Structure 1
Amino acid sequence: MFASLSAIILLLVAPAIQAQTVYLAGDSTMAKNGGGSGSDGWGQYLGQYLTIPVINNAVAGRSSRSYTDEGRFTTLINTVKSGDYVIIEFGHNDGSANPDNGRQVAVGDAYDTTATVTAADGTKILIHTFPYYIQNAVNSLKAKGAIPIVSSQTPSNDWASGAIVAAGRFVGYAATAASRTSATYVNHYGYVAQSFQKLGQATTKTFFPVDHTHTSPAGANVVAQAFVRALLCGTNTLKSKVNSAGQAVPSMASFNFI
């Protein structure tokens, strides 16, 4: 009788227990078919390496600013529940533009620096820095009980003297935003760069059939594996959700970039 009662209670309680989910917020390098023409973003391949589901909310062409201005962070904040993970990765589209393209951010790593830019129709627009948009999103997600992970942008297929070119300013900005908010930081740029360099320039070139930024499905999977390796080498709670396939992703170097 007692066993039966326990089973009934378990059945009644079970539907209320919601599993954790990983949400992704980013640009075309993370998004499904992000660059078109058969390309794909790494976010499409992350789920096979985790024990919890992944929902890819990355959108091609977005920056930290446009993702904010379009209300996409707000929607994400309203969607997450306590214990969910949110991986945020921007940088490819956040650079300066003239006239304003709706994506550029103010130059610098300060939180409160602003700039006034001019749109093609002459409209003056006040914009903020990359850390401003990222930190606001992170703090709002944390207020909901979610667990944000700030990830640096991925490298493009750009080489100099036999190595992937050095990281640009948005990699450092991402690290700064994570540090200020006490969020986990993943140097995805560094881990992908070491993977590409280990595989070699000729092989890496095959991962970029469209342009120097957007990966093929095979390339996207390598980029996803690099992210998983970064998790395993770092200090974060998501690493406990890496499954056996994730544990087996190749380690491309004897050192790490975290």
Structure 2
Amino acid sequence: MLSSILFSLACIVPGIVGQTVRLAGDSTMAQGGGGSGTDGWGQYLGQYLNIPVVNNAIAGRSARSYTDEGRFTSLISAAQRGDFVVIEFGHNDGTASPDNGRQDAVGDGYDTTATVTTSTGAQVVIHTFPFYIQNAVTALQAKGAIPIVSSQTPDNIWSGNVIGAGNRFVGYAQTAASRTGATYIDHYDYVAQAYDVLGQTTVNTYYPIDHTHTSTTGANVVAQAFVRGLLCSNSALKSHVNSAGQAVPNGCL
């Protein structure tokens, strides 16, 4: 009887039964984080949801290198109709000379490009952060998946008693989401809110090796901040937040 009911529900609402959350990002999200006892927040998201999480984040990647290495292509191929895909980059996307294979063209124009020089002297044409994110989002939408664009997490850098304001990639993420109709989670500000409440002395203990990569405790705080942002959003994923997720601290921004 139960199997018949589930089959009927799948026919009525295709794509709902068997949904998965897939994550695309860098070391701040990835398993193992930046090494040396750190971990990414994506490893802790699953305990706050009632559907499984697949963490496809890879340390050291940017929106550009995740694209160029075919990782978005693989993720898009694996995604099923109704799957949620959280995309969060920015920490590795800044300018570099010579080209490091990760930097994006400066600006938020979809058609903006730049020509950069590699360490071997080769010339490479690169695109902007929104270009790479928007292409991934629209490809996922075409498959019936549900992309969520999340801004990067803050570094442990304070301005007085509060975390400093986000960099340009926070704004670029919001722009890419707006252009594609994807849900935007201001993960930066939700983490900043949590850190401001906890205070710098406590937050300093979350960063054992540098100002970017969190300990396991810190990664869980960052995951909770994402869930809080999710609960305050219009995303259908918030209907899959379990009782533990409903209890995460702080409120809507």
Partner of 2:159: 160
Q: d(CA) in 2 for partners of 1:11 and 1:150?
A: 31
Residue identity over aligned pairs, in percent, reads 68
In 2, Cα distance between equivalents of 1:7 and 1:111? 48
CA 1:196–1:14 in 2, change beyond 3 Å: closer, same or farther?
Answer: same
Task: Name the residue aligned to 1:103.
Answer: 102
State the one-letter code of the partner of 2:173.
A
**Structure 2 stretches lacking a partner, 5+ long:** none
- Equivalent residues in 2 for 1:1-258 (5 A)? 18-251=17-250, 253=251, 255-256=252-253
TM-score, length basis structure 1: 0.93
CA deviation string 1:142-181 (max 9, x = no partner): 0000000000000010011221111100000000000000
Aligned amino acid, residue 169 of structure 1: R
- Seen in structure 2, the aligned counterparts of structure 1 residues 11 and 174 have a Cα distance that, compared at 3 Å, is closer
Decide whether aligned partners of structure 1 residues 152 and 8 sit closer, same or farther in structure 2, where only a CA change above 3 A counts. Answer: closer
Call closer, same or farther: CA 1:11–1:244 in 2, change over 3 Å. closer
Of structures 1 and 2, the larger Rg is shown by 1
CA distance in 1, matches of 2:93, 2:123: 18
SS at match of 2:134: helix
CA distance in 2, matches of 1:193, 1:19: 33
1: CA distance between counterparts of 2:232 and 2:83?
A: 21
- Equivalent-residue separation in structure 2 for 1:94 and 1:12 (angstroms): 44
Letter in 2 for 1:148: P
Provide closer, same or farther for how the CA distance between residues 65 and 229 of structure 1 changes in structure 2, counting only shifts above 3 A. Answer: same
Aligned letter for 1:68? T
Distance 1:143 1:132, change over 3 A: same
TM-score, reference length from structure 2: 0.95
The CA RMSD over aligned residues, in Å, is: 1.8
Q: Distance in 2 between matches of 1:149 and 1:58?
A: 14
How many residues of Structure 1 are paired with residues of Structure 2 in the alignment?
Answer: 249
Q: Distance in 1 between matches of 2:4 and 2:64?
A: 47
C-alpha separation between the residues in 2 aligned to 1:11 and 1:159? 50
> For the structure 1 residues 92 and 248, does the alpha-carbon distance in structure 2 shift closer, same or farther, using more than 3 Å as the test?
same
